[in-house]
Structure 1
Amino acid sequence: MRQNLNNTAKIDAALAATNGRAQSFTVTSADTLRVFATAAEEQLAGILPKSAWPGARVTCRPQGPSSSYSYSAQTTKCVLERGAKDWFLISCERDQVFPKAPRMCRVTLTAAQTLAVPLVAEKRLAAAFTLTPVAQDASAHERLELHAAAQKLAGVA
Structure 2
Amino acid sequence: RSHSNWQWHLDEVFVKINGETHYLWRAVDHEGEVLESYVTKRRDRKAALKFLRKSMKRYGRPEIIVTDKLRSYGAAMKVIGNAERQETGRWLNNRAENSHLPFRRRERAMLRFRQMRCLQKFAAVHSSVHNHFNQECHLYSRDNFKLNRSAALSERRQLCSG
Write 1 or 2 for the structure with the bigger share of helix: 2
TMscore range, shorter length: under 0.3
TM-score, normalised relative to structure 1 = 0.23
